[in-house]
Each structure stands twice: as structure tokens, then as C-alpha cells.
Amino acid sequence: MMKVSGNGFCSPLVVVVLSPDTKEETVAWLLRRMREKQQDGGTLTGLLMIKDLPKSAELLVDPLGSKVEEKENPNIFLVTASWQRLLTGAEDLGLFKEFNDGSMRSFTFINRHNFKEFHGDGDGFLSMAECQYIIKHELETLRAKDETHVPGYAQAKLYPGKSIIRRLQSKKIMIQMFPLHDKEELKRLSFKWYKKVKTSLQPLDNIRHYFGEGLALYFAFLEYFTMALVPLALLGLLYCQFDWENYDKYVFFAVFNLIWCTVILELWKRCSASLAYHWGTLSRKKVFEEPRPGFHGILGFNPVTGREEPLYPNYKRQLRIYLVSLPFVLLCLYLSLYVMMIYFQMEGWALMLYDKDPTFCTKLFLYIPGIIYAVVIEIMNLIYRYAAEFLTEWENHRLESSYQNHLVLKVLVFNFLNCFASLFYIAFIMQDLVLLRQNLATLLITSQIINQFMEAFLPYWLQRGRNKMMMMEIPLNEQVRMEIHMSTYLGTFDDYLELFLLFGYISLFSSVYPLAAVLVVLNNITEIYSDAFKMCNLYKRPFSDPAANIGIWQLAFEAMSVIAIVTNCTLIGMSPQVRAYFPDSEMHLMLWTVAIEHGLLAFKFIVAFLVPDIPKHIRINLARLDFESMEALKKKKMFEFPVMRRVAGEKE
Amino acid sequence: MMKVSGNGFCSPLVVVVLSPDTKEETVAWLLRRMREKQQDGGTLTGLLMIKDLPKSAELLVDPLGSKVEEKENPNIFLVTASWQRLLTGAEDLGLFKEFNDGSMRSFTFINRHNFKEFHGDGDGFLSMAECQYIIKHELETLRAKDETHVPGYAQAKLYPGKSIIRRLQSKKIMIQMFPLHDKEELKRLSFKWYKKVKTSLQPLDNIRHYFGEGLALYFAFLEYFTMALVPLALLGLLYCQFDWENYDKYVFFAVFNLIWCTVILELWKRCSASLAYHWGTLSRKKVFEEPRPGFHGILGFNPVTGREEPLYPNYKRQLRIYLVSLPFVLLCLYLSLYVMMIYFQMEGWALMLYDKDPTFCTKLFLYIPGIIYAVVIEIMNLIYRYAAEFLTEWENHRLESSYQNHLVLKVLVFNFLNCFASLFYIAFIMQDLVLLRQNLATLLITSQIINQFMEAFLPYWLQRGRNKMMMMEIPLNEQVRMEIHMSTYLGTFDDYLELFLLFGYISLFSSVYPLAAVLVVLNNITEIYSDAFKMCNLYKRPFSDPAANIGIWQLAFEAMSVIAIVTNCTLIGMSPQVRAYFPDSEMHLMLWTVAIEHGLLAFKFIVAFLVPDIPKHIRINLARLDFESMEALKKKKMFEFPVMRRVAGEKE
């Protein structure tokens, strides 16, 4: 299916689904616009070019199949393009590819034969995920010219330069746009990835080839995190083997934790840069981002592009953020803390009741506060998530990336508090390390069981039938109609959030419960398999996302590791062994703890500053590219010099 | 003197001084190489180009004057170039200039008539400082071709691509290279800058025009810092007026200090970005840096440029840094602390002696420890500075910038300890705030008096005669010979260091002595005048340095402001008012202090993260340039498309 057929056209790549009741004139207009030469609405006076260029260079759109059944949506279209169109699209997007000399360079059509994997016509040079990304980009930059509204829909306003697809999406005329799965490649990938019991690592390059860099980086991080946990887990196992009951000697673990979480995050940055370099996303220049579909404002001129587009004053957004969203988040955080305090109070009552009258009935009472608290937390999480999405939408961010960052921040803070506030309370206010250990174990084990059930077993069971169908040889028409009904993968957000919370349990408190690392390793291994399974079988294929790093999550994990320094230092200061050194003065103990903690914080920042984020050989490669382009520019100028002389001469 | 003469040649710009006993063949060879078309030794096969290009495009070198006296050095040369050569040099260096539409763009010769200040032939378009910088760059990139050594000096080895000037400098054949002063412009500048009593700010644009961006940024920062101190100084004055003896109410000042030092550094970043944008250095791409003159190693191929040059393995440098330099610095720090402890002990003895037998003689004894300590500190500083320079040289850094950073770091840490260790000891170990106040006042006032004397009065007195000469109309020959004997300005290092220490006094401890800000403001105002005077009258003109920010000093000041949060919080925690809230529990007081301090640190980092470093209108301008160049690339590709088609067709 990846193959380009003999006449130079790719097989169907992207499915576009319009609402079933879309007017015919709208469909005809859209198809015409998709098929003709695309011009940047506002900036180029390229009408001349359209005539000059052959039709074959443009997008190829076909309605799905001829035998449309009754009740089925007739407005399903398959979009593809000629290989040449795709290659020039790759150049437009500035995709990086491996050059003959082994370095990564921005692909250019003229230079195409000097790229390593380019054979013959360029068949197989671009991965299917890249082709689909290019087509998505072409569709999204399909701009209105002189249309004032979408034909047939007077309320769907257009203006020169407006992205047509975005308007169709916001008016619910276009209801889906997704890339097709490639069943052969998917079969090969899933076999390599999770179907066979194996000792090797995940096939990251294949994952990247099929799903794109964003998802591949998630799986790389998941794998890296798991590997990094192995030493901790081994230490934990050894410790439990030989010293099972003597948990109080946790100072060693706390020190180890401190170093571990700083080191692994620094190394991950280098590791991620290395992957991104080889995948060509590290030095790729970002393409200018389109406003997100929901963005609205008063029509004006974008100061950067000069194009007409809705503008929304930044101060209004800031007001919404600081006067509404921020207070709301703070209120929710306060509520969450309040609920936690009620829980502790209820638990105290239950314990008191049990102590007074230890019967079976009062013993059952002991579990009730915990259950109620867990349920309330879940409900609060759910409501908060909706509220956060609503608020972030209402803040009216221009770019999808900015929307995502604000949403992640909101959800992160709340989840952090929900998960860790009770542990902090037990550790530092109650100072009850036995209870801390119990709670940590309970939280980890229950969340693991629930996760495995929700993420692996349940979907597998639900999808048994469809799964078989995916593996059968079915005609394209049926495949498309089946994939339309698969659910949409909403991005790596929830997956990263899960890892973030696990990282928190480990780095903040695992010193008092060394087995935590073992549990998390086990969890992560099953997580890899269940995530792989769900990506290959349960969801529509997602568009690839040319990410160069894990983005805001790197920051989140680093913030966690800073907090880990504080908690571990405090735990060390609270330990009986350390207290024994300061028998008469709590004050001195505390001064020392604070001083050492400040030293460690400073040290962490210095290390982060000194360790280069990009490995040396890649830095050299990047510098060489820079240098070469500078030299090329100079050379070019020199050859142009005689011309310049002449011009100068005329002036004299 | 800035004027370009009618035939299109600039007046002399850069003076090159060779050793008086340089062999004649060497001089002849060097002059020939300077006058012929410069090629990048290794990379371009441009011999063909040399013939094609007219002589007039190259550097113009003339020996100084005809009437050479006996005993005078005959090897003094004046270097200049035609305006056209300078303009193409500006393009090579990627200088940014104001475009017709008001934005800053990289200058290109072809586009020259679209730049705002470009009139006629380009006369006056480049400032004299820029011209001199271009000529310096051209001289430094004058590369050996097939010479194996400098003619006449068999021991001065050369290899293809080696910078000739660097070799001549390291072999002491070339003893000086400096830009000439422009007496007329200097007179105008100094009049505007410090000659008239004025209320307006410094003429920063003129300073930049004459001395370049690096120095102008220093003066801008000095001015900014002074202005930022004014509110603090006013508060201090008011406080002293109305509440003179009641210094213990310093909590308010500590809180104010906390906010102040974070806010002014954040604002300075934006201010500096704004200046750098308008001066065209903000987005200028760095030119590839040559190895510094002292750098040595085994000849190999630079992995970035592919040119032959000495290579020195990084691990060896790291070993030298971590096994020799770092232990040495730590030892010096320890020594400095040790000396301080001896001082405190001696002072204790002197006080004891005085208490026992309060005579005039023992009263004199009270001053002896302080004097000895001050002298010892000065001597240690001096020795340490030499040792730091020696060690950093020995670390064998390839780039001047890396050498500078390592030197700054070494000197900074030692000076910080020398200046502040005793204050820390008094404040937090002895907890004697009255003594702290006394010491702070003494330190500030004495250092101010010494500075003013050393920097303003002494040089003025020493240079009275020469100063008059500078203002006289003297022929070029005499001017050059006079400037050769002026001392060389060694860069802004010491000036920034002084500001850094003043900033430290203010941000760390000024809450207990609010008058400190007043003293520093007074000091800074005289500093502006004395620095301006010394730049215009005492030193050779320095080469301009196209800096985009204050570099490593921004980091140093920010590190200081982080330390300021710690000290101010501790001071607040120690204050009697706050202690009154926790009458029975020191422990609680401390917990609260630590918690609030952590909160403030977190807040500071969040603010630094949230406040954009570049003001919005400049970000928009930069984004627009990016967008335009992207669009231009696309357009270009489109026009090339028919050609590509043909090539593709041939393949099919």
C-alpha cells in the first residue's frame, strides 16, 4: 500500500469526511479547490503560475467507491498526490533527510539525487506518515481567495487568506480528516513491536516510520524511563531481601534518589536530541502555525504575515487567564485540599470508633473513608478536566501549541495535588512514615491494577471482533468505512500524565518504600505492550507530529525532580539516624538540612547548565551545516560580484 | 575624518605595527598578501577569481609618513579599503541595518539602495567603528595558502588555512593592531557625553556609533542600574529622615529588595534586547570564530570547517579544568576564608586588650586588624588574578569567548567570597546586625573613595599633558605615533565586576542599611563620568564588539539575585518583629521562613519563565522577517519549478 503505482501516483493517503447533508455545490467547490494549484491566498500573485503548471502536480481527490449503500454517508473522499507533488511538499515543510555523506539535511527537490534513500523516482523515499503529514499541511493551507463565504453556507464566512479547512471544521461541515492505516506495514510493525515475546528493545525507527516522531518519542521516553528504573528496582529488591523490616535506613535511598532523578533527566535530554537529530526534527525550522479552528476575533491584519485574519488582543486573553482561570484553578486546589482534610478527619473518627468497639461492623467502617475519598477524587478529576478544557477554549488561544500548554499546566497542577497532597500531609505534617509506606503501596498497586484493566484487558475484550477484521484482507472501501468508526487517539497527553505521576511517586517518596520502583517497572512493561496494542488496533491512525522533544513534559519532569530534592532532603533530616547526630538541638539539625538542600539545588542547576543538551558529535554536525551554508552564501556572492560591479559602475 | 574622499577610498582606519626589526622580505610578503584579493585559504578554489577582480576592491595599506625619524619604528602601516570593499565586507559579516520599512535587515550589497541611510555611493552608511571592525575581520581571516612558514622566520610555521595575523601575533612579529581615533567625532561625542553638565541621559547611540555595541551596552547597563537604584535610594533617604535610629524595622526593605532585584533584571533583559535590536546585533548570525592566538595543539582537521588547524582534545582540557584549576580555586577560597577567620580572631583580641586597658595605644590597636586584613585581601586579589589568567591560558581554550567565560567565572567566585564572606559571617553566624551595618557602610565608602581616586582623579592628573595634545590639531603622523603609546583598554571585565559587587552590596544586605543605595547612586554617577573620560582620553580606541547582550554577566547578576532571596528571607526571619510572632517556638519560625523562601524562589523562576525576554513588538518584527524569508524561498522554488520538471522528465 505504501508503494507508488507505476504512473507516479500514491495510493489513497488521507480520508476526508464531510457531513452527509453537505450541499452539492459545496462539495463541488471544495473538490475543485483541492484539485487546483494551491496558492498562498494573500501573499503570492501566482495566478499566472497556475496555468503554467501541470495538473499532475496537485492533490488527487476521489469519492470513496461507487457502490454507495443506502444510509451510508456519500461524502467520503480519499486524498492523495503524485510523488512529485509530495516531494515538493516535503521541501515546503523543510523535512530533513539523510544526505549521501551521512549528515541530515533539509530536503530540496533539485538536490534529491544526493539524498541517501532516494532511488529512481523517489519511490519509498518519504514514509507514508510523512506523505500524510504533507497532505494534511496542504489541506490546512488551502486558503480562500475571493470567496466571501463557503458556497451553500452563507453563515460560514470566508475572507482572502482564511484556511478553508479550518472554517469547514469549525462549522461542522467537515467532520473528519484522518490518515489511513497501511495494513501490511501495520502487520509487520505490530509483529516486531508486541506480538512476539522478545528481549530486544522496541523498534523505535519503525514506530516513527509509521506513527511519526511525536509518538515515537513517547515510546522512547517510556522505554528510557523503564530502563532507568531498573537499577532502583534491583536495589529495592536486594534491600527487601536482606533487610526486610528495617525500612528506617532509608537515608541511602533518599541520597540515591536525589542523584538518580537529576541524572536521568539530563541524560534523557541528550538521548532525545540524538533521536530527534536522526529523525530530522531537531533542526527543522517550524512552519508558520495556522490559528486553531476554534479561534475567533475581529478581522484585522496579522502583523507577522500581513494576511487578513481574526485578531484577539493579548491583554484580553491575559485578563481571562489571570482573573478567571487562575482563581478558578486556585479554588479547585483549595477544594481538593479541603476534601483531603475531611478524609483524614473521617479516618480518625473511624479509627476511634473501631478502637472503642472492635467488631466486624466497625472494622468495615475503617475502609469507608478511603473508598469515599477515592470516588470523590475521581469525580473531581473528571469535572475539573472538563472545566479546564472549557476554560482553556474560552481563553481563545491563537495557536494549538499554546492551547495545549495552558491545558497541560492546568491539569498537571490539579492532578499533582490530588495524588501527592495526602502523601505530603502524612510525610511532613503527621510525620508517620509507616502510614506513608502503606499509602504509597496501596496507591501504586491499585492504580496499576485499574490501569492494566482499563488500558489493556477491557479494550482487547471489547475489540476482539474488530481486531480480527483489521487483520483480514478486506477491500479498501470497507477498510475506510471501518476506520471511520474507530475512535480518535487524542494525543499523548494522558499517557505522559500517567508517567509523570509514576515518576512523582518514585522520585518523591520511594526512599521509604524501595519496592515502588519494582512495581513501576512491572507497570511500565505492561504499559508498553498495552499502549502498542491500542495504537495498532483500537484507534484511527493519528497524523504524525514532527516533534523534536517531549515539549512541556520535559519541564514538568524537571520541576518534579526539583521538588524531589526538597522532599528527600526533608526525609533525610527526619530520619532517626541523622537525628542521632544532633541529640540536643533540633535547630542545628534543621539548619544543616536547609543548607545542604540549598547546596543540592544550586548543584542541580549548575549541572543542568554545564551538561550540554545535545551530544557533541551532533553539535559538530549542526555547526558544520551552519558553516557550509555560510560559505555557500559567500561563494554565491562572489560569483555574483561582477554583476554587482556593473551595477555599481552604472551609478558612478 | 569619517568622510570618504572623492575617489571612493576611506581615510586610514586601522594601524598595524610590526616589530622594528622585522625582516624586509616579511614586510613585503605581508603587504602583498594584504593588498591582494583575499580568499578563504582552505575552502575556495578561487585563484581564478583573483585575476578577474579589480585591485581596487582590496585592502589599501600604506606605510606611515615619509619623514621617519631615527630610533622610531619604521614598520607602522595604515590600513583602509574602498567603500565598496567595506560594503561587501559588511555583507560578509552579516551586519544588520535599518531597512526602508523601518525593520532591521541583514545588509546585502545588491539591495543596498533599499536601506534607509544609504545615500549615493554609501558614503557615511557604515560608521567608522563598523569599518574598522570589518577591516579587523578581513585581516584576521587572511589565510596562508601554500606558505609553510612566514618568509624570513622559519620557526613561524604556517599551513594552508592558518590565519596569518594570528601567527604573526603569537610570534610577536606583529606587536599592535588597533583602530584610529577620529578626533572630530571624539570631540563631539565627549562634549555630548560628559563635558557639559546635563540632566539628559547618555548619548547611547553616539557611543555605539563610536565604540561599538559591547561598550555601549555596558554604559546602557550602568545607566539602567543607576536609574533602577533611584527608588531604593529615595526610600532610604526618607527612612533615614524620619526614623533615623530605628534600623530594626528592616523587614519592609528586605521585602522591597526581594522584588526589586528580580524585577529590574527581568526588565533589563527586555531593555537590552530592545537596544540590541535597534543596533542590529540581536539576530545577527555569529561569524565563525577563529581560534585565539595562544591556542596550540596537534595539526589535524577541524570537524566543522574541514580546514587544517591545531586540535586539542577536549578531555585533556576538562582534566586540566577539573583536576588542576578547580582544586586550585577551591584552595584559594579556603585560604580566603581562613584569613577572614584570623581577622575576626585578631579583632576579638584587640577588643579584649582595649577592654582590659583602655588607653590611646590599645585604641590604635583596634584598627590594626582591619588594616592588615584589607592589605592582605588586596594582595591575595592581585596574586589570584594573575594565577587565574595563567591557569585559564594553560587550559588552552580554542575560542576567545570560552577563555573569557572561564576567566570571568574564576575571578567572580573569588571576588564574591572576598567581598561578602565577612558580611555573611557577621550577619548569619554572629547575628550582629549593628556590626553588619557598620561594616557595610565602611566597605562602601572606602571602596568608593578609592575607586574615584584611581579611576578619575589619578588618570586625569597623569594625562593632563596628553589630554591637551589630543585636543590639538596635529597631523596624522603624529596622531598615530601618539596613539601607539596610549595604553590598551582591556575590555569591560573590571567595570562589570565593580558593578556586580555593588549590586551584591545592595541586593544582599542593603535592607539593614538603606543609605547604601544612596551611596551607590552617587558612586555610579561619578562612575559614568570617569568611565566616559577614560574611554575618550586615556586609552587607544578599542575595536568594536557586536555584542547582543551583556553575556555571562546577566547570568552572574541573576545568580546574585537568587542569593539575595536567601539572605533577605533569613534577615526577615531573624528580625525582632517577626520573631515576636513566634514567641515560644524557634522551630516554627524557621519552618515558615524556609517555606516562604522556597515559595519565593519558585515564584522567581516562574516569573523569569513567563516574562518574555524580548518585547512583543520586536518579537513580531523578528517573526515577520522569518516569515518573509520563508515565503521568498517558496516563491523562488516555484519559479524554478519548470526547470525541475524538465530534469524530472529526463529521468522518467
Cβ of B627 within 8 Å of Cβ of A305? The answer is yes
Q: Using an 8 Å CB-CB cutoff, list chain A residues near B640.
A: 110
Q: Is the pLDDT of residue B208 over 50?
A: yes
| Closest C-alpha to A122, from A138, A134, A137 | A134
CA distance B287 to chain A (A): 9
Q: Answer whether B289 touches A (CB < 8 Å).
A: no
Q: Which residue has the cell 604573526?
A: B168
pLDDT digits (tens, 9 = 90+) for B44-93: 333 334 333 333 347 888 887 655 565 677 888 889 888 888 888 888 88
- Which stretch of A214-228, A280-294, B107-121 has the lowest confidence by average pLDDT? A280-294
The angle, 0 to 180 degrees and rounded to 10, between the axes of the packed helices B464-471 and B476-484 is 150
Cα B567 from Cα B423, distance rounded (Å): 11
Cβ of A304 within 8 Å of Cβ of B620? The answer is yes
pLDDT digits (tens, 9 = 90+) for B441-460: 888 888 888 777 777 677 77
Cα B332 from Cα B115, distance rounded (Å): 54
Edge-first strand listing for the sheet containing B59-63: B59-63, B76-81, B14-18, B174-179
Q: Answer whether A92 touches B (CB < 8 Å).
A: yes
CA distance A305 to chain B (A): 6
Q: How many CA atoms lie within 13 A of A614 on its CB side?
A: 15
Cβ of B53 within 8 Å of Cβ of A641? The answer is yes
Cα B423 from Cα B346, distance rounded (Å): 17
Q: Which residue has the higher pLDDT, A352 or A246?
A: A352
Chain A contacts in chain B segment 553-572 (CB below 8 A): 566
Per-residue exposure over B91-122, b if at least 16 CB sit within 10 Å of its own CB, e if not: bbbbbbbbbeeebbbbbbbeebeebeebeebb
Residue A27, classed as helix, strand or coil, is helix
CA B562 to chain centroid, in Å, comes to 23
Phi and psi (nearest 5°) for A301?
-110, 125
Which range has the top average pLDDT, A103-107, B332-336, B355-359?
B332-336
| Closest C-alpha to A588, from A602, A598, A575, A578 | A578
Q: Is the pLDDT of residue A227 over 90?
A: yes
CA distance B174 to chain A (A): 28
Q: Is the pLDDT of residue B394 over 60?
A: yes
Q: Residue A152: what pLDDT?
A: 87
pLDDT digits (tens, 9 = 90+) for A431-490: 888 888 888 888 888 888 877 777 767 777 776 656 555 556 777 788 888 888 888 888
CA distance A119 to chain B (A): 11
CA A37 to chain centroid, in Å, comes to 33
The full set of domain ranges for chain B reads 14-180, 189-610, 615-652
Phi and psi (nearest 5°) for A197?
-70, 130
Cα B497 from Cα B490, distance rounded (Å): 13
Q: Residue A46: what pLDDT?
A: 36
Q: Answer whether B625 touches A (CB < 8 Å).
A: no
Of all helices (H) and strands (E), which one includes residue B607?
helix B586-610
Of all helices (H) and strands (E), which one includes residue B420?
helix B400-424
Q: Residue A467: what pLDDT?
A: 56
Torsion of CA A29, A33, A36, A39, to 10 degrees: 150
- Which stretch of A335-344, A452-461, B108-117 has the lowest confidence by average pLDDT? A452-461
Contact A281, A544 (CB under 8 A): no
- Which stretch of A240-249, A283-292, A398-407 has the lowest confidence by average pLDDT? A240-249
Q: Using an 8 Å CB-CB cutoff, list chain A residues near B306.
A: 624
CA distance A144 to chain B (A): 18
Q: Which residue has the cell 517558496?
A: B634
Q: Which residue has the cell 602583498?
A: B32
Query: Quick one: closest CA in B to A8, which residue?
Result: B652
CA distance B184 to chain A (A): 29
| Identity of the residue numbered B209 | H
CA distance A566 to chain B (A): 9
Cβ of B88 within 8 Å of Cβ of A647? The answer is no
- Which stretch of A7-11, A242-246, B92-96, B218-222 has the lowest confidence by average pLDDT? A7-11
Average pLDDT over residues A185-195: 83
- Which stretch of A247-256, A340-349, B93-102, B106-115 has the lowest confidence by average pLDDT? A247-256
Contact A348, A374 (CB under 8 A): no
Which range has the top average pLDDT, A322-331, B286-295, B300-309, B466-475?
A322-331
CA distance A92 to chain B (A): 7
Query: Which 8-state DSSP code applies to residue A337?
Result: H
Cα A59 from Cα A37, distance rounded (Å): 8
Cβ of A285 within 8 Å of Cβ of B46? The answer is no
CA distance B27 to chain A (A): 29
Contact B391, B410 (CB under 8 A): yes
pLDDT digits (tens, 9 = 90+) for B517-550: 998 998 898 888 888 888 888 888 999 888 889 9
User: How is residue B157 written as a grid cell?
Assistant: 610555521
User: How is residue B176 written as a grid cell?
Assistant: 599592535
Out of B92, B591, B616, whose CB is closest to A634? B92
Q: Using an 8 Å CB-CB cutoff, list chain B residues near A109.
A: 637, 644
Out of A40, A49, A638, whose CB is closest to B46? A638
Q: Residue A7: what pLDDT?
A: 43
Dihedral sign from CA coordinates of B282, B285, B286, B287: negative
Cα B499 from Cα B19, distance rounded (Å): 38
Contacts 24+ apart (CB under 8 A), A149-158: A150/A26, A150/A29, A151/A23, A151/A25, A151/A26, A151/A29, A152/A22, A152/A23, A152/A24, A152/A25, A152/A26, A152/A29, A153/A23, A153/A26
Cα A301 from Cα B9, distance rounded (Å): 46
| Closest C-alpha to A213, from A87, A96, A78 | A96
Chain A contacts in chain B segment 161-180 (CB below 8 A): none
Q: Answer whether B48 touches A (CB < 8 Å).
A: no
Average pLDDT over residues A403-413: 92
Q: Answer whether B303 touches A (CB < 8 Å).
A: yes
Report the length, in residues, of chain A. 652
Contact B384, B332 (CB under 8 A): yes
Per-residue exposure over A615-651, b if at least 16 CB sit within 10 Å of its own CB, e if not: eeebbebbebbebbebbeeebebbeebeebbeebeee
Q: Answer whether B445 touches A (CB < 8 Å).
A: no
Report the length, in residues, of chain B. 652
pLDDT digits (tens, 9 = 90+) for A605-635: 988 888 888 998 888 888 888 788 777 766 6
User: How is residue B369 written as a grid cell?
Assistant: 586588624
Of all helices (H) and strands (E), which one includes residue B563?
helix B552-574
Cα distances from A507 to residues A105, A228, A502, B492, in angstroms, run 39, 12, 9, 44
Cβ of A305 within 8 Å of Cβ of B637? The answer is no
Out of B303, B638, B648, whose CB is closest to A624? B303
Where residue A129 falls among pLDDT bands split at 50, 70, 90?
A: confident
Question: Choosing among B37, B627, B650, which should be mutated to test the A contact, i.e. which has the most A CBs within 10 A?
Answer: B627
Pairing of strands A174-179, A153-157: unpaired
Phi and psi (nearest 5°) for A68?
-75, 120
pLDDT digits (tens, 9 = 90+) for A548-574: 899 889 999 999 999 999 999 998 888
Torsion of CA B46, B50, B54, B57, to 10 degrees: 70
Cβ of B634 within 8 Å of Cβ of A92? The answer is yes
Give percent of chain A with pLDDT exceeding 90.
Answer: 23
- Number of A to B CB contacts under 8 A, please give it: 95
Q: Which residue has the cell 467502617?
A: A365
Q: Which residue has the cell 584569613?
A: B339
Cα distances from B570 to residues A586, A594, A599, B427, B607, in angstroms, run 18, 12, 16, 9, 22
ipTM metric: 0.82
Cα B371 from Cα B382, distance rounded (Å): 17
pLDDT digits (tens, 9 = 90+) for A22-62: 888 899 888 888 887 654 433 333 333 433 333 334 788 88
Chain A contacts in chain B segment 113-172 (CB below 8 A): 121
Out of B43, B598, B642, whose CB is closest to A631? B43
Q: Answer whether A110 touches B (CB < 8 Å).
A: yes
Average pLDDT over residues B290-314: 82
Q: Where are the alpha helices (DSSP H) in A141-212?
A: 164-170, 183-190, 204-211
Where residue B4 falls among pLDDT bands split at 50, 70, 90?
A: very low
Average pLDDT over residues B576-587: 82
pLDDT digits (tens, 9 = 90+) for A530-540: 888 888 888 88
Q: How many CA atoms lie within 13 A of A323 on its CB side?
A: 6
Contact A432, A505 (CB under 8 A): no
Q: Residue B200: what pLDDT?
A: 67
Q: Residue B264: what pLDDT?
A: 93
Q: What is the full DSSP assignment across B332-363?
A: HHHHHHHHHHHHHHHHHHHHHHHHHS--HHHH
Cβ of B637 within 8 Å of Cβ of A598? The answer is no
Cβ of B635 within 8 Å of Cβ of A88? The answer is no
Cβ of A52 within 8 Å of Cβ of B642? The answer is yes
Q: Is the pLDDT of residue A320 over 50?
A: yes
Q: Residue A197: what pLDDT?
A: 63
Mean pLDDT of chain B: 82
Give percent of chain A with pLDDT exceeding 70.
Answer: 87
Where residue B609 falls among pLDDT bands split at 50, 70, 90?
A: confident
Contact B490, B389 (CB under 8 A): no
Intra-chain end-to-end CA distance of chain B, in Å: 64
Chain A contacts in chain B segment 190-249 (CB below 8 A): none
Cβ of B54 within 8 Å of Cβ of A645? The answer is yes
Q: Using an 8 Å CB-CB cutoff, list chain B residues near A88.
A: 637, 641, 644
Mean pLDDT of chain A: 82
Cβ of A305 within 8 Å of Cβ of B624? The answer is yes
User: How is residue A306 written as a grid cell?
Assistant: 500581513
Per-residue exposure over A234-258, b if at least 16 CB sit within 10 Å of its own CB, e if not: ebbeebeeeeeeebeebbebbebbb
pLDDT digits (tens, 9 = 90+) for B20-31: 888 888 998 888
Q: Using an 8 Å CB-CB cutoff, list chain A residues near B648.
A: 84
Q: Answer whether A620 touches B (CB < 8 Å).
A: yes
Query: Which 8-state DSSP code applies to residue A114?
Result: G
Of all helices (H) and strands (E), which one includes residue A80?
strand A76-81
| Identity of the residue numbered B440 | L
Q: Answer whether A51 touches B (CB < 8 Å).
A: no
Q: Residue B651: what pLDDT?
A: 38
